[in-house]
Structure 1
Amino acid sequence: MGLAAAMFLSSQSLPVRADDLSLPEMTLVPAGWYWQGSDEIERDYAYRIDEQIYGEDMARRNRWYDSEIAKWRIYLPKFEISTTPVTNAQYAAFIKDTGHPAPGVTREIWDSYGLVHGFEATRPFAWKDGRPRAGRENHPVVLVSWQDAMAYTRWLGEKTGDTWRLPNEAEWEKAVRGPDGTFYPWGNIYDPTRLNSADRGPFDTMPVKSFPAGPYGLYDGAGQVFEWTLTQQQPGARIVKGGSWDDRGCGVCRPAARHSRPEHLRHILIGFRVLRVAPHKDK
């Protein structure tokens, strides 16, 4: 049986204890229709706000947002998704229990990625002696690959007896955006006071829940960190969503925005949240 098939198998649901701080807090997204993707009006808005901030049209010339899914109405069954990105403290329980490598990256591997950020930019986010840096326990975990995130979901399944996985792109977008197809979780006008982006700083991750929640009660869906999804763009690459603390504009922080990154990449801008399949007995 393949990994993907195994991750979708139903299992007897066991409740996640509310007082177990090592497990993610979960939010139920009800079954129903929602608007996924973007239309020409939304994409043009994204290009224009990027041009206003950066003073040039690189995003439009490179057609950054032209690959977004054409806006359409789609029905999804109910599911539960973590209220915030997985935090360092939550991920630390997984590391302690399994001995999985802690978030980090060597200079050689980082330089091989060819990214804009130099290796020194990774140091505040890299764990030391198997633990997150002091004061960052409630920040989203980063420097985790897609494979690392998948290993964490498997551990959650073993720990709770439930079925856990990463959200696919459609599930992630509905959970963050809500049913109405607005450009951002809060509406159609970009507001830098409602997310962690480079428009206001602090040019770093922040504690989760530092900004207002979105339509279903999720936090940090726009800005803060990009998030891995289950959706494959091409072999070896997965869609990431959400924008980050390093983005300005923030056209890329819209829930409809999408691009892919290699599954093996451990990046200071990428974290994840998890999905738990809602038990069938729940009505």
Structure 2
Amino acid sequence: MAGYRPFIIQVIGALTVLLTAAATVPAIAGSQAFDPPEVIGIPGGAFVAGSDRAEREAAYGLDEAAYGHSRTREGRWYEGERPRGGVTLPAYDITRTAITNRLYAAFVASTGHPAPDVDPRTWAGYGLIHPYERTRRHAWQAGRPPAGREDHPVVLVSHEDAQAFAAWLSAETGRRWRLPSALEWEKAARGVEGRRFPWGDGWDPERLNSHDRGPFDTLPVGAFPAGASPYGLLDPAGQVFEWTASPAGEGRYLVKGGSWDDSGCGVCRPAAQHSRPQALKHILIGFRLIVE
């Protein structure tokens, strides 16, 4: 047996070298550790969706008091809302907050997907009221989110970007992630009783990130716990609008939730909705996901 000792020592030495080398090999280019987003359960069953005449009139009144004009009423902004009534949905799990820059960065690093940004010509083509310079605080540099905004909701993402992120997260976790339908989003945001706002029927600007009390900018997700829905959904009103899976004409999808740019805030009600082009990359629009 003594004759085998040098050979055994050589084998152990070789294995030690291999294991040491393996431990020092850098991670695959572009990979980045991440924690899947926290989700909350929405039980199956009926809830009150949509709005009635009284709710829409109250929403117009809030806008008029905040802005000093009647443009939302004149433009009939809330007339396309679903008529108030019961809707039954199966149970589902939805992310407690909008997807953050931090989590989206793991997707960008892993896949090489273009980071959130928009060029001046494209922005001008949208015809939005926000100047291009305002997009720069949200734009990423060298594939990284703006410093200090890692826990803000990701914006400047199109509907296609949101779907690509969901497909990546599905592959990474082995579970199917997808955008919520407008009705799934609405139930998670208002509960079963048909509240006008996530917290109740009364308007309270202290419960959300809107232009009434906010900094006219995004904030870290969950900064307004008092504005949570009955299920614990955070930032369902204000902060950013959110893409849904519900189409609204060719190449357009419904968005829900209101934003930091809004005052009033009739558009921040869970029943409120409007459509945006699927390719739009807006500083006011992010997204959250459902997992199956």
Amino acid at match of 2:123: W
Instruction: Give 1:3's aligned residue.
Output: none
Residue deviations 1:45-77 (CA, integer Å, cap 9, x gap)? 000111111111111111000000001101111
Instruction: Give 1:281's aligned residue.
Output: none
Instruction: Give 2:148's aligned residue.
Output: 135
Q: Could you tell me how far 1:201 is from its partner in structure 2?
A: 2.0
Task: Name structure 1 gaps, 5 residues minimum.
Answer: 1-19, 278-283
Amino acid at match of 1:143: L
Q: Could you tell me how far 1:161 is from its partner in structure 2?
A: 1.3
Structure whose residues are more often helix by fraction: 2
Off by >2 Å, runs of 4+ in structure 1: none
Largest Rg, 1 or 2? 2
Q: d(CA) in 2 for partners of 1:171 and 1:25?
A: 17
Matched position secondary structure for 1:231: strand
Q: d(CA) in 2 for partners of 1:57 and 1:131?
A: 41
Amino acid at match of 1:272: F
Instruction: Give 2:240's aligned residue.
Output: 225
* 1:122 maps to 2:122: no
> Percent same amino acid among aligned pairs?
56
Q: TM-score scaled by structure 1?
A: 0.90
Q: Could you tell me how far 1:22 is from its partner in structure 2?
A: 3.5
The correspondence for 1:244, drawn from 259, 277, 292, is 259
Amino acid at match of 2:104: Y
The correspondence for 1:150, drawn from 163, 168, 171, is 163
Q: d(CA) in 1 for partners of 2:165 and 2:250?
A: 21
Residue deviations 1:182-223 (CA, integer Å, cap 9, x gap)? 100001111000000000120000001111221101100100
Q: d(CA) in 2 for partners of 1:21 and 1:170?
A: 29
Q: d(CA) in 2 for partners of 1:56 and 1:88?
A: 36
Instruction: Give 1:107's aligned residue.
Output: 120
Instruction: Give 1:11's aligned residue.
Output: none
Residue deviations 1:222-261 (CA, integer Å, cap 9, x gap)? 0000000000000100000000000000000000000000
Contact 1:22 1:89 in 2 (8 A): no
Q: TM-score scaled by structure 2?
A: 0.87
The correspondence for 2:187, drawn from 174, 180, 185, is 174
Q: d(CA) in 2 for partners of 1:141 and 1:49?
A: 28
Where in structure 2 are the equivalents of 1:14-25 lying within 5 Å?
A: 21-25=34-38
Task: Name structure 2 gaps, 5 residues minimum.
Answer: 1-32
Instruction: Give 1:269's aligned residue.
Output: 284
Amino acid at match of 1:72: G
Q: d(CA) in 2 for partners of 1:22 and 1:259?
A: 32
Residue deviations 1:162-182 (CA, integer Å, cap 9, x gap)? 111100000000011111101
Matched position secondary structure for 1:234: coil
Residue deviations 1:100-159 (CA, integer Å, cap 9, x gap)? 000000011111111101110100000011000111000000000000000011011111
Instruction: Give 1:255's aligned residue.
Output: 270
Aligned residues: 258
Q: d(CA) in 1 for partners of 2:120 and 2:74?
A: 33
The correspondence for 1:26, drawn from 1, 26, 39, is 39
The correspondence for 1:45, drawn from 44, 48, 58, is 58
Instruction: Give 2:29's aligned residue.
Output: none
Q: Could you tell me how far 1:21 is from its partner in structure 2?
A: 4.5
Amino acid at match of 1:239: L
Matched position secondary structure for 1:159: helix
Q: d(CA) in 2 for partners of 1:157 and 1:270?
A: 22
Contact 2:34 2:106 in 1 (8 A): no
**CA RMSD for the aligned pairs?**
0.8
Which fold has the larger relative contact order, with Cα–Cα distance below 8 Å and residues 6 or more apart in sequence?
1
* 1:79 maps to 2:92: yes
Q: d(CA) in 1 for partners of 2:35 and 2:153?
A: 13
